[in-house]
Amino acid sequence: MSTWPAIAQIAADVSAGKTKATDLVAESLKRIQDTQEYQAIIAVITDRSVVRARDIDARVAKGEKIGRLAGVPFIAKDNFLTFGSETTAASNILKGFKAPYQATAIELLEAEGAICVAKANLDAFAHGSSTENSDFMTTKNPHDSKRVPGGSSGGSATAVVLGLAPFALGTDTGGSIRLPAAFTGAVGYKPTYGLVSRSGVIAMASSTDVIGPLTTTVEDAALVLDVMAGKDRLDSTTIDRDKTSYTVLGSDIKGKKIGVIKEYMGQGLDPEIKRSIDASIAKLKTSGAEITEVSLPSLTLALACYYIIMPAEVSSNLSRYDGQHYGYFAQNAKNLEESYNWSRSEGFGDEAKRRIMIGTYVLSSGYYDAYYKRAQLIRTKLIKEYEKAFSQVDFLLGPTAPMVAFEIGQNVSDPLQMYLTDIMTVGANLAGVPAISIPVGSAHKLPIGLQLLAPQRQDRALLALAKAAEEVLV
């Protein structure tokens, strides 16, 4: 596994003419080439990357200012619309789809000089926790190729840990950035809902989808977030960013009130992970953190609630893939009805179909009140519990996942077992609060993630704490 300097350093070196963007892109492309057996990458954006890199180098030579990510290669999860390659969301139904516009996040990163060199594998439409639901291939965990990297941003996490690029983008609907970060030993950041524009990112569940970075350090994550954060006129759910940069970190653990989430530390948690998390808690305490135990009783319902709301939105968001306007369509259909049925039956994988069916069911008249409406009530209750918890402590803490990376194929035939991997991450999505997974220690010789959460819009404080914790724990 190769490493990169800090992103800010790379950009400074490129801007100063010490490093060439073309060399960085070449290095990144070479590493992608050399690590194909991990199946992290769906598409390589060679031509566009090289052209952009040459342009940056030429502008540097002319003394122009490039930006805070000058020449920094990165990899986007393949549910971000990008130029220079197909955008498929790892689904057959979008195979061959070329985006007519780019995601706002990509545009913002490019405007600061970053270069998107490849598209990473994911569970199709981000439905999954292992990348096994990708219609194309399963990504392998960089620490043990028999194991999954977690999902759905498994390709992005693996890419970062393998050093294919200094950072990667992921999306987190129920844990899809943090879980693969935990399983592969990366830093995965899920911002406050609405802090980063969703425009141009293939929607999974619109009310919980967020966009965030996967990196090797908290500092890098903060820089990437800072470039992407803020209101976007193309996404009405975006919120105002902090005036201060998210990269201004420098925080002390001392005196910080941290609540350990009771519901995450009990039954179902791998004892080795518990030992490691407990050890981390002890270190934080030694560093002066005020640790208490906090209970959010509705968290026990969070997963059930999530698996109603999310499929409801998924079933709606996937309606547009109907074979009539773009993407896969059934050539042999004889009429409109067949065209719809066959295009969708042949184009969608099993997991997408499962979620469409669940979502359609919970939104149907006669079932809406019993499922969707009740789930929304629980969601509101959960949000209130988070608010209450955050009135007592500054941050919440727990493991990112109850288990370490499992073996490929282990959970494939048991979707419920697979859904359980999200149990510690979905809460933050339902409440819209920011959360980060940082690698701390190991269990069964595999990485594990420590999850830290903060109130909505406290992204900077959370990153600052995570940076301080990283120094003590990693």
* Residue whose CB is less far from other proteins, 145 or 319: 319
156 vs 190: CA distance, rounded Å? 14
Min CB(353)–other proteins separation in Å: 15
Looking only at the bridges linking them, the beta strands covering 257-261 and 290-294 are parallel
Residue 236 in contact with other proteins, rule: CB under 8 A? yes
Give the C-alpha separation, 245 to 63, whole Å: 26
Judge contact between 408 and 147, C-beta under 8 A. Answer: yes
Tell me the pairing of strands 395-399 and 257-261: parallel
**The residue type at 93:** I
Cβ-proximal residues to 84 (8 Å cutoff; 6+ apart), any chain: 45, 47, 48, 49, 116
Task: Work out which of 368, 383, 441, 474 binds other proteins, going by CB under 8 A.
Answer: 368
Least distance to other proteins from the beta carbon of 41, Å?
20
Nearest to 8 by CA among 73, 70, 74: 70
* Choice from 4, 38, 74, 97 touching other proteins (CB under 8 A): 97
Tell me if 110 contacts other proteins by CB under 8 A: no
Cβ 339 to other proteins shortest distance, Å = 9
Under rule CB under 8 A, residue 322 binds other proteins: yes
Minimum CB distance to other proteins smaller for 38 or for 372:
372
End-to-end CA distance of the chain: give it in Å, rounded. 18
Is 2 among the residues known to form the active site? no
Segment contacting other proteins by CB under 8 A, of 70-78, 266-274, 324-332, 347-355: 324-332
Does 81 sit near other proteins (CB under 8 A)? Answer: yes
Q: Could you say which of 132, 263, 313, 422 contacts other proteins (CB under 8 A)?
A: 313
CB-nearer residue toward other proteins: 113 or 347 = 347
Q: Which of 91, 152, 153, 276 is catalytic?
A: 152
Nearest-angstrom CA–CA distance, 464 and 222: 9
* 324: contact with other proteins by CB under 8 A: yes
Q: How far is the CB of 68 from other proteins (least distance, A)?
A: 25
Report the distance separating Cα 248 and Cα 236, nearest Å: 27
Catalytic residue among 176, 276, 280, 343: 176
Residue 243 is among the residues annotated as catalytic for this protein: no
Burial of 206 (0-12, 13-18, 19+ CB in 10 A): middle
**Distance from C-alpha of 198 to C-alpha of 332, rounded to nearest angstrom:** 35
| By CB under 8 A, residue 101 contacts other proteins | yes
User: Closer to other proteins at the Cβ: 33 or 324?
Assistant: 324
413 interacts with other proteins by CB under 8 A: no
Q: Select from 146, 320, 388, 444 the one that contacts other proteins (CB under 8 A).
A: 320
Which two tokens mark 34?
Answer: 């050399």
CA distance 156 to 32: 12
* Integer CA distances (angstroms), 212 to 71, 148, 156, in order: 20, 21, 11
Token readout for 418 is 């697979």
Whichever of 215 and 315 has its CB closer to other proteins, that residue is 315
176 is catalytic: yes
Interacting residues with other proteins (CB under 8 A)? 81, 87, 89, 94, 97, 99-101, 103, 198-203, 205-207, 233-237, 312-313, 315-316, 318-320, 322, 324-326, 336, 340, 360, 363-365, 368, 372
Residues forming the active site: 77, 152, 176
